[in-house]
């Protein structure tokens, strides 16, 4: 598929996988609709995307946890930005690494509201237009954590298991239309993910990547781009990718 001029909507685009994906689509000449909570960081990514080759960029300061704000943002898009052809449901996070019986309920709510409900709110606002227009592709960013839970990560892992189920259900629900639905499920990726999880504790965050060569955000962006650029009649249902130092969400080969 030729992506030049296509409107690509990426949530959580201010850093990490979202930012890398924005730059990858920019290099293809796409028109980028970017959203995130951090307007300053989002503006930096938008500027880089234009330098990289994006035809145009439209940014929205948006927290996907807020249903009415999501719907309003989509309803109030300028007419020349309303026909979203590719949606990357990337916004997501993890908080803490506590045992379930010691977990902070506020952390649970933030993960569930962002990773599950946020994906639902965005998809509900965007998918109907794709169905009416008879074209579109939704890419949901999952995780190997959704396939195999790990100690201390039960709620985060459950949220990503939900993404996997929602992805597969969404693909069934659009059957009969040309709309495609793909899940991209990476293993450990070196981003701000762990820094967010441990609330700025750099030492704790660094241990996550200690002794391994993790995926980069660009690796994941490449996988997303590959799935989207396939022939229109081909639907890549699911991509699972890890570095060679990781077999699943529990098993790593760490060098001393």
Q: What is the pLDDT of residue 1?
A: 85
Question: What residue ranges in the chain does DSSP mark as E strands?
Answer: 7-10, 31-36, 56-61, 86-89, 137-141, 180-186, 238-241
Q: How confident is the model at residue 196 (pLDDT cuts 50, 70, 90)?
A: confident
The greatest distance separating any two alpha carbons of the chain, rounded to the nearest whole angstrom, comes to 56
H helix and E strand count, the chain: 9, 7
Tell me, yes or no, whether 103 lies in a domain.
Answer: yes
Domain region containing 219? 7-241
Active site residue 101: no
pLDDT in tens, 90-112: 999 999 999 999 999 999 999 99
What token pair was written down for 181? 């639905």
Residue 29, Cβ neighbours under 10 Å: how many?
15
Region 15-35 average pLDDT = 98
The beta-carbon contacts of 128-135 under 8 Å, at least 24 apart in sequence, are 129/82, 129/83, 129/84, 130/84, 130/85, 130/87, 130/174, 130/177, 130/179, 131/174, 131/177, 131/179, 133/83, 134/177, 134/178, 135/85, 135/178, 135/179, 135/232
Q: Which of 147, 151, 165 is nearest to 248 (CA)?
A: 147
Return the CATH number at 52: 3.40.50.720
Strand runs (DSSP E) across 29-125, as ranges?
31-36, 56-61, 86-89
| Number of domains comprising the chain | 1
Give pLDDT, residue 170. 98
pLDDT tens digits for range 130-156? 999 999 999 999 999 999 999 999 999
pTM value is 0.97
Q: Please state, in angstroms and rounded to a whole number, the distance separating the CA atoms of residues 188 and 205.
A: 12
**Is residue 208, in this structure, part of any structural domain at all?**
yes
Helix (H) or strand (E) holding 73: helix 67-75
Identify the bridge partners of residue 60 per DSSP, sorted by sequence position: 35
Domain membership flag for residue 253: no
- The mean of the pLDDT values for the chain is 96
Of the residues 101, 121, 150, 156, which is catalytic? 156
Evaluate whether residue 247 is within a structural domain.
no
pLDDT interval class at 129 (50, 70, 90): very high
Residue 82 lies in a domain: yes
């Amino acid at each position: 598929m030729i992506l030049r001029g296509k409107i690509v909507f990426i949530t959580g685009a201010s850093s990490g996988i979202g930012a890398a994906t924005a730059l990858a689509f920019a290099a293809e000449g796409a028109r980028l609709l970017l959203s995130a909570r951090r307007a300053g960081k989002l503006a930096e990514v938008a500027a880089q995307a234009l330098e990289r080759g994006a035809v145009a960029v439209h940014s929205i300061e948006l927290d996907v946890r807020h249903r009415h704000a999501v719907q309003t943002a989509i309803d109030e898009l300028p007419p020349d930005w309303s026909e979203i052809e590719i949606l990357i449901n990337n916004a997501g996070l993890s908080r803490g690494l506590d045992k379930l019986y010691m977990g902070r309920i506020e952390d649970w709510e933030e993960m569930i509201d962002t990773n599950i409900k946020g994906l639902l709110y965005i998809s509900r606002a965007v998918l109907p237009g794709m169905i009416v227009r008879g074209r579109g592709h939704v890419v949901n960013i999952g995780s190997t954590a959704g396939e195999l839970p790990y100690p201390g990560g039960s709620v985060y892992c459950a949220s990503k298991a939900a993404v996997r189920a929602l992805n597969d259900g969404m693909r069934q629900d659009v059957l009969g239309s040309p709309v495609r639905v793909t899940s991209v499920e990476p293993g450990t990726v070196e981003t701000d993910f762990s820094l967010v999880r441990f609330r700025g504790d750099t030492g704790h965050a660094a241990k996550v990547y200690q002794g391994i060569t993790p995926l980069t955000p660009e690796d994941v962006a490449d996988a997303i781009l590959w799935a989207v650029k396939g022939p229109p009649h081909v639907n890549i249902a699911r991509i699972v990718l890890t570095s060679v130092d990781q077999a699943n969400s529990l098993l790593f080969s760490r060098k001393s």
